[in-house]
Amino acid sequence: MALILLIALVALVWATDLLETEPIKPIPQKVEYDKKKAKLGKLLFHDPILSKNKTVSCATCHDLYNKWGTDHREASVGINGQSTGVNAPSVFNAVFNFRQFWDGRARDLREQALGPIHNPKEMGMTKEEVERRLNENPVYRKLFKEVYGTDRITFDQVIDAIVEFEKALITPNSKFDRFLRGEIELSKEELEGYKLFKRLGCISCHNGINVGGNSFQLFGAVIPVEWKPSNPDRYRITGREFDKNRYKVPSLRNVACTYPYFHDGSAKTLEEAVRKMSYHNLGYKLSEDEVRKIVAFLKTLTGELPEILKE
């Protein structure tokens, strides 16, 4: 009996230790959010009523059920078939990013949500038009009254409900998170991939809960890539030379499912993205065997679809 207890204790300490020392942290299994607001936000997220010609919703570019919160296009397309020229990152786990957008111009999800609604290429709406349309809609008037207790729907409430929904869009229990919690083992190939990811230095930019999403870094840190004025990089915000080709590091959560890759969708496959990253950001040409192992590791970062989508 004592022996069993001792073994259990050692296993627990080992698992806790692993959690504390590993540079990647598991996604929490539950997050706090207001259920009523989030349900309303879910409806708004999927409703094209929020775009000028009623053809585009948030979900047009962030398909939650089939495309892991992205649109699988190189660059997203908004109202009247206009291209945004930029690849849509996933909205899954965006709540854990330190800033939003490739250039980090939004400090949080609230600030972010204003972007697409007002952007003439995406949804092209004014605050007043959003309020007018929703207040003319008896179903929404009733729903907002139930959640916010007011007779008139305000733009602030619309954003508030969408943000509350986005808080629920987390994808916990990936194979890798279960490994971190000491619940399962990785295969030999996956584990070797993870070790390479750490040893080569991918981890210096891709770490934390989102395996990214917590710093601004260069694309081309060692071997520069061509700079284009259309880049959605930090330079757009700061105007400093230093910030050309510098982006918010994308999250690698669910990365096997969020192709194509990079801010312009220029890498079609995960293999290609991994090869280019290693070459340009570490100055190292990966062998095919190393690519295979790293990709096997990256595939373990695919989590479970958010609970709120099953309701």
List contacts with ligand HEC (CB under 6 A): 56, 58, 60-62, 76, 78, 84, 86, 88-89, 91, 94, 97, 100-102, 109, 112-113, 116-117, 122-123, 162, 200-202, 204-206, 217-219, 221, 232, 247, 249-250, 252, 255, 258, 261-263, 273-274, 277-278, 281-282, 294
Separation between Cα atoms, residue 58 and residue 24, nearest integer Å: 29
Separation between Cα atoms, residue 263 and residue 276, nearest integer Å: 13
Q: Which is nearer to ligand HEC, 6 or 240 (CB)?
A: 240
Please state the closest distance from residue 15 (CB atom) to ligand HEC, in A.
26
Q: Which is nearer to ligand HEC, 111 or 304 (CB)?
A: 111
In 3D space, the residue among 105, 81, 101 whose CA is nearest the CA of residue 91 turns out to be: 101
Q: What count of other Cβ atoms lies within 10 Å of the Cβ of residue 120?
A: 12
**Contacts of residue 153, Cβ cutoff 8 Å, sequence gap at least 6:** 131, 134, 135, 140, 141, 144
Residue in the structure block whose two tokens are 């295969």:
187
For 63, the token pair is 């398909």
Please state the closest distance from residue 40 (CB atom) to ligand HEC, in A.
13
Q: Which is nearer to ligand HEC, 147 or 249 (CB)?
A: 249
Q: Which is nearer to ligand HEC, 82 or 135 (CB)?
A: 82
Separation between Cα atoms, residue 122 and residue 104, nearest integer Å: 18
Separation between Cα atoms, residue 158 and residue 207, nearest integer Å: 33
Q: Which is nearer to ligand HEC, 26 or 245 (CB)?
A: 245
Please state the closest distance from residue 14 (CB atom) to ligand HEC, in A.
27
